[in-house]
Structure 1
Amino acid sequence: MRSPPLPSLAVASLLALAVASCAPTPWEPTGGDFTPPAEPGPFIHQDGTRLVDGTGAPIVLTGVNLGGWLVWEGWIWGGGWQSQKDMVARLQRLLGPEEAARFVQRVQEEFIREEDIAELARLGFNSVRVPFNHTLLEDDATPFVYKDEGWAVLDRLLEWCEAHRIYVVLDLHAAPGGQSPFYMADPDSTKLWDSTQNQERTVALWRAIAERYRDRQIIAGYDLLNEPSPPNGEALFLLYKRVAAAIREVDPHHLIILEGTSASSDFSMFTRPVTFNQAYSFHMYTWFGDPRREELAKYRALSERHGVPMWNGEFGENSLEMLRSTAEMYVDPANALAGFSFWTWKKVPNNSAHLVGVTADIPQWTKLIKWVESDWNARPTVEEARAGMDQFFEAARLENCDVNAELVSALRVR
């Protein structure tokens, strides 16, 4: 959704004067805020409007998203616009709950492997943003109880990234209830904003993550909510305050990353930073016009006004030339970004340029994923579905994928 029409010139001028007269300042402690540590420790952290590493050297996080792995989006696998729970329900209908659960486990084990992380490093990227569903760690039927097998997935990823020196941004893409009504948030009928318990679960989940990983230097930051769609800006600000306070109780060192509303393009609810050691993250997709320069100027102004870094958490799904020119803007020192994370690392190719394409001929998988998309498509047999899953995981192995050298070059990571 876009912003409503701009007010008249006279009203706009009055608004501009009002904003200028009460311009917010960088974070300062107020009642209930936690005091920053005396030393930042060996972690990536905020230094004014830039990020620096544990030695104090400036660092720009240039990386990719690991979309379609720990939270599902049907189109990434060649299907449609389904949420994870809808896809799981369809697989349960075809195969039964046990086989559907085994497929979930195989996705976690096989869609992204250590070879993917090694290739990211070889290509010159230095970070990954890791979208995850809360259900990786906590089943809705047993709230506040965290799953050992979910922790094992994240632990294994961090070990790979430590081995290959790839920083990690953990991104809660699908909070309890869903922070938006859109498929990528895996929403329920009762959203995050409609339920006190869902909000309490979100706060507790982030506290548990921070407590477990407080000493892991390979984690660059915690991205608290992907593209939230609250009833109003105050609701988002207050929830962020609660989550940040819970994290700071156990982890004073890791960077906290906040996204705005309207697909992470509207930051008007932030009159000041929420916590110390914070960054903002905007997303930018250019499907309707080309507002990139105006949007970047807006984000740069916010960064300077609040004295915090601005990072691009998602962009992509466009032509090679559009992606090339966008990356050029992002690395331009005049825009003063703390980096970017391309969407996404691996997918079944569509009409947009792919970075790593699952390009093998996989007819039985295609039949399965198209039926998962819609009953209008042919229903596979159980045997075809099982064969299709095997085809998909084999085709998704990095050695069987197409790495797009032109797009790697366009992203300007070297």
Structure 2
Amino acid sequence: MKRFLLFLAALSAICLVSLAPPAQAQGFVRADHQQILDAKGNPLILRGLGLGGWMVQEGYMMGLSNLKAQHIIRHSISEIIGRKNTEHFYLSWRDNAVTKADIDAMAKWGFNSVRLPMHWNLFITTMPGQKTNGRMVWNEEGFRRVDALVGWLKTHDMYLILDLHAAPGGQGHDIAISDRNPNSPSLWDSHENQTAMIALWGEIARRYKDEPTIAGYDLLNEPNWGFQDKHDKGGCRETGSAPLHDLYERAIQAIRAVDKNHMLIIEGNCWGNNYAGVLPISDRNTALSFHKYWTPTTQESIEPFLKLREQYDMPLWNGESGENNNDWYARAVALQEKNGIGWSWWPLKKIGKGNPLEIKENANYRRLTAYLRGEGKKPSAKDVFAGLMQLARDSRFNRNIRHQDVIGALLGASGGSEAPN
């Protein structure tokens, strides 16, 4: 499972440098000192859900924690049913797992935002090289799906946060999060991968610079990497994180070359919890995102982040939280909102409970996962393909199991009262 217990060493005092003046993006969500403001300049508390599992499948969401990363799951499936049928399943999954009906339901339940975890390979077809004369070849599928999502959200005056969840090469040792292949150069080991990430953000900025439905660009999800100490796999003891800070600044420069409007969001090392050496950041229209899993719901548990908010005069946003029980959810939301912090719960749906929507498993899919976990015999290719296609259909909103108690825990007793039948 992708999460790591919150660990934040006491941060050394870092002198603030001279920063650029705040961006005045009229008509756009923006960071204004320690608050996030809406287009009219009013304080905005983002209350949202993350679309985890749609573009980036993590093993635990699919009943395959042992396989961890999407590329491993995909390869394992392909060995049984072949590449063509595997691609057919994944395309059907992306067509069904998130549709307008999901967004309509979220709006009726009372959520005002969505965080989209993006996989780089749905946006980049070919990396720069000799065959492309040094150019990036874009994959239009990813942009087409973002366009559709923007349209669905705009109908309800909801916001979208674009999150680079799986960066080229992968940004951490926790391979499930970013679909990283440890046998290939990571984001940190490859100049080409970093260049591709920066180019991708530049292209996103070019395409969406005038779209106010997008509240912000979450530049890199949960980096977890020890730069100074290779034994510190998660970067939780890291005191420098210079490569992370440098990559953020380069990405910001590429975005601001074409897009002066959108709020930026940065995450620290150690799964978004260690900011030593990451701050300060040059752009003032930037929010700080932390992730909160399993930790106490006391004021003390978020005090380190509140101190960062005050020290660096920038707003806080909890970009991920969840995978717990309803009592914890209600207390965590209350804690954050009491401190003026918005949130995005993880995820909207998966196989298993603990989220607003649950995807049902079918018998053929259960036989496949049992085999891939080493707990059963190999099923036939015909049954595997049938089970996968049934799973893709069952990922659709009207076939999901709805957990109104989870929605109520997040939004209060009235949450979910207008849920569609």
Shorter-chain TM-score bucket reads 0.7 to 0.9
Pick one of 158, 162, 165 that aligns with 2:154. Answer: 162
Moved more, 100-109 or 167-176: 100-109
Pick one of 184, 188, 193 that aligns with 1:193. Answer: 188
Pick one of 74, 78, 81 that aligns with 1:92. Answer: 78
Pick one of 290, 302, 308 that aligns with 2:296. Answer: 290
- The alpha carbon displacement at 1:54 in A equals 1.2
- The alpha carbon displacement at 1:102 in A equals 1.5
Letter matched to residue 170 of structure 1: L
Corresponding residue SS for 2:188: helix
User: Could you say which residue in structure 2 is the equivalent of 1:355?
Assistant: 356
Distance 2:43 2:359 in 1: 35
- The alpha carbon displacement at 1:306 in A equals 0.8
Distance 2:224 2:394 in 1: 35
Pick one of 48, 57, 71 that aligns with 1:72. Answer: 57
User: Could you say which residue in structure 1 is the equivalent of 2:117?
Assistant: 131
Q: Conserved in 1, the CA contact under 8 Å of 2:85 and 2:385?
A: no
Pick one of 117, 122, 129 that aligns with 2:103. Answer: 117
* Residue segments in structure 2 that go unaligned for 5+ positions in a row: 130-135, 228-240, 416-421
Q: Which residues of 2 match residues 272-351 of structure 1 at below 5 A? A: 272-286=280-294, 290=296, 292-332=298-338, 335-337=339-341, 339-350=342-353
Q: Conserved in 2, the CA contact under 8 Å of 1:346 and 1:354?
A: yes
Distance 2:138 2:15 in 1: 42
Moved more, 93-102 or 61-70: 93-102
Corresponding residue SS for 1:168: strand
User: Could you say which residue in structure 1 is the equivalent of 2:366?
Assistant: 366
Moved more, 265-274 or 166-175: 265-274
Q: Conserved in 2, the CA contact under 8 Å of 1:328 and 1:412?
A: no
Letter matched to residue 197 of structure 1: E
User: Could you say which residue in structure 2 is the equivalent of 1:258?
Assistant: 266
Q: Conserved in 1, the CA contact under 8 Å of 2:8 and 2:273?
A: no
2:204 counterpart of 1:219: no
Going from structure 1 to structure 2, the CA distance change for 1:142 and 1:273 (only over 3 Å counts) comes to closer
Q: Conserved in 1, the CA contact under 8 Å of 2:37 and 2:44?
A: yes
Q: Deviations over 1:283-312 (max 9, x none)?
A: 0111xx637532311111101111111000
Moved more, 128-137 or 146-155: 146-155
Q: Conserved in 2, the CA contact under 8 Å of 1:62 and 1:125?
A: yes
User: Could you say which residue in structure 2 is the equivalent of 1:101?
Assistant: 87
Q: Conserved in 1, the CA contact under 8 Å of 2:33 and 2:313?
A: yes
Corresponding residue SS for 2:137: coil
Q: Conserved in 2, the CA contact under 8 Å of 1:131 and 1:172?
A: yes
User: Could you say which residue in structure 1 is the equivalent of 2:402?
Assistant: 403
Distance 1:157 1:4 in 2: 34
- The alpha carbon displacement at 1:121 in A equals 0.3
Distance 1:407 1:2 in 2: 22
Q: Deviations over 1:386-410 (max 9, x none)?
A: 2112321232222222222221111
Q: Conserved in 2, the CA contact under 8 Å of 1:224 and 1:240?
A: yes
Going from structure 1 to structure 2, the CA distance change for 1:320 and 1:193 (only over 3 Å counts) comes to same
- Count of residue pairs the alignment pairs up: 387
User: Could you say which residue in structure 2 is the equivalent of 1:210?
Assistant: 205
Letter matched to residue 268 of structure 2: G
Corresponding residue SS for 2:216: strand
- The alpha carbon displacement at 1:97 in A equals 1.3
Distance 2:178 2:246 in 1: 20
2:157 counterpart of 1:151: no
- The alpha carbon displacement at 1:96 in A equals 1.3
Q: Deviations over 1:358-386 (max 9, x none)?
A: 24x51112222343x43553322111112
User: Could you say which residue in structure 1 is the equivalent of 2:418?
Assistant: none
Corresponding residue SS for 1:411: helix
Corresponding residue SS for 1:101: helix
Letter matched to residue 343 of structure 1: W
- The alpha carbon displacement at 1:4 in A equals 8.5
Going from structure 1 to structure 2, the CA distance change for 1:322 and 1:208 (only over 3 Å counts) comes to same
Q: Conserved in 1, the CA contact under 8 Å of 2:225 and 2:269?
A: yes
Distance 1:134 1:383 in 2: 31
Q: Deviations over 1:75-130 (max 9, x none)?
A: 21333252111111112211111111122211211111110000000000000111
Q: Conserved in 2, the CA contact under 8 Å of 1:240 and 1:274?
A: no
Going from structure 1 to structure 2, the CA distance change for 1:142 and 1:90 (only over 3 Å counts) comes to farther
Percent of residue pairs identical: 31
- The alpha carbon displacement at 1:198 in A equals 0.6
RMSD: 2.2
2:62 counterpart of 1:59: no
Going from structure 1 to structure 2, the CA distance change for 1:91 and 1:140 (only over 3 Å counts) comes to farther
Going from structure 1 to structure 2, the CA distance change for 1:4 and 1:106 (only over 3 Å counts) comes to closer
User: Could you say which residue in structure 2 is the equivalent of 1:32?
Assistant: none
Q: TM-score, normalised by structure 1?
A: 0.88
Going from structure 1 to structure 2, the CA distance change for 1:184 and 1:370 (only over 3 Å counts) comes to farther
Corresponding residue SS for 2:257: helix
Q: Conserved in 2, the CA contact under 8 Å of 1:2 and 1:262?
A: no
Going from structure 1 to structure 2, the CA distance change for 1:2 and 1:330 (only over 3 Å counts) comes to closer
